[in-house]
Amino acid sequence: MGIATVNPTTLETLQTYAALSPEAVQTKLDAAEKAFRTYCQTTLFDRSQWLMRAADILEQPARCRQYAKLMTLEMGKPLKEAMAEVKKCAWVCRYYAEQGAVFLANQSIQTDASQSWVCYQPLGIILAVMPWNFPFWQVFRFAAPALMAGNVGVLKHASNVPQCALAIADILLEAGFPPGVFQTLLISAGQVEFVLKDPRVKAATLTGSEPAGVSLASIAGSQLKKTVLELGGSDPFLILESADLEAAVATAVQARMLNTGQSCIAAKRFIVVDAIADQFLEKFVATFAEIIIGDPMDEQTHIGPLATPAILEDLEQQVQTAREHGAQVLIGGQCWSGLPGNFYQPTILTQITADNPIYHQECFGPVALVFRVPDLAAAIQLANDSPFGLGASAWTNDPQEQHELITTLEAGSVFINGMVKSDPRLPFGGIKRSGYGRELGIQGIHEFVNIKTIWVK
């Protein structure tokens, strides 16, 4: 289909776009390079004001709803969640507008020089390759710190959310950022290499699948360019005997069903100690049975369609293969036909052995895998038995268990008695095959700057 808006609820193609020609891409990069020469000299105050203005635009009730509907139309996110996403984008803009000057301030260090310090200077054009599942948030969490630091950005968004991509560029231009500072490139995946190898592009960030990350990192490595990668995840959600079971169940359902289960940091593997496993499963299945599936524009809907037919097909095949290898379906386990789109029933699988293909896979949709273990040590061993290491959620009120979980779980973040989530104030990213580098926090703004040492005598 190429670059197009295809409503995943109805499967209707609403808008199509031709990919930019190589000449048009060159024109965009020319504009970005020209803009950087002057933009890097703008004051931190001016940049902060433009970010504040972007936040104001996003928070306007009518605009917030407009952008939320656009997300729901293009990738099927429930409207309530889409509106929350727009507001979170405003938050990250305000956060870096308020904290950017602190994060980028010169750091004096006493040495044998008369003066020595570290300063932070922008690199230039940064390529952002972004996914469809959080079509506004993923872009703004890159753009806010990158633009605050004085870089300029070019966005290659997922091909199924072109209208979101264009809207984001318009918002930043309307907010006051000079022309060329942030541009959307409507290009195919095959054109990314051409852009990344351009000498004017200094670095790249990608959020997406493991194969996409491997491809981008290989190209960037051949050019000796910095990258930040946030890739897949199969996050564990551990429930131990001292946990508040009611809170754990409620959060477990939310953590698995957010964005119709299409989130890298969604809880995907639920690891429960035997002592409370029966109670947990009874409550977990009962809550799944209450989930409302349907039109994502209806604010009563809990989960909508998957973003594309290919995602639905992959998920359906994963569950079928898991069943053939002995997995037991406690609820769901098949497509939902109430509407013509890409719908899959909320599903819980158990009795999953280590030789089952789904044991080490990421399920990108409303499918939960439940494992029973005898004790804490077995829970941690199972949680770490994954090629991924993005986030982990663990539920216990025992301080000693909390300490053990914090120190031994292999993940970029560990949340105790809470759902894994991104927060502008905290660094976000993974280890192992979940990627490298960090977004957000002070660490995120320092990923794409020249950390320059100054020595004067």
Which CB contacts under 8 angstroms, 24+ apart, belong to 350-353?
350/281, 351/326, 351/327, 352/322, 352/326, 352/327, 353/325, 353/326
* Cα–Cα distance, 184 to 152 (Å, whole number): 12
Distance from the first to the final alpha carbon of the chain = 62
Q: How many CB atoms lie within 10 A of CB 296?
A: 29
Selected catalytic residue, list 230, 362, 410, 439: 230
Selected catalytic residue, list 264, 362, 401, 447: 264
Which amino acid, one-letter code, is at 150? G
Whether 93 sits among the annotated catalytic residues: the reply is no
> Helices 274-289 and 245-257 meet at what angle, rounded to 10?
50
In 290-350, where does DSSP find H-type helix? Answer: 309-324
* Cα–Cα distance, 163 to 135 (Å, whole number): 10
* Cα–Cα distance, 252 to 269 (Å, whole number): 10
Give the list of residues 6+ apart from residue 166 with CB closer than 8 angstroms, or none: 184, 186
Tokens representing 216 are 């981008």
* Cα–Cα distance, 137 to 87 (Å, whole number): 9
Distances (CA, A) of 419 to 238, 251, 257, 323, 406: 11, 6, 12, 28, 15
Distances (CA, A) of 315 to 79, 306, 414: 23, 10, 27
Give the list of residues 6+ apart from residue 288 with CB closer than 8 angstroms, or none: 253, 331, 332, 346, 347, 348, 368
What is the set of active-site residues? 230, 264
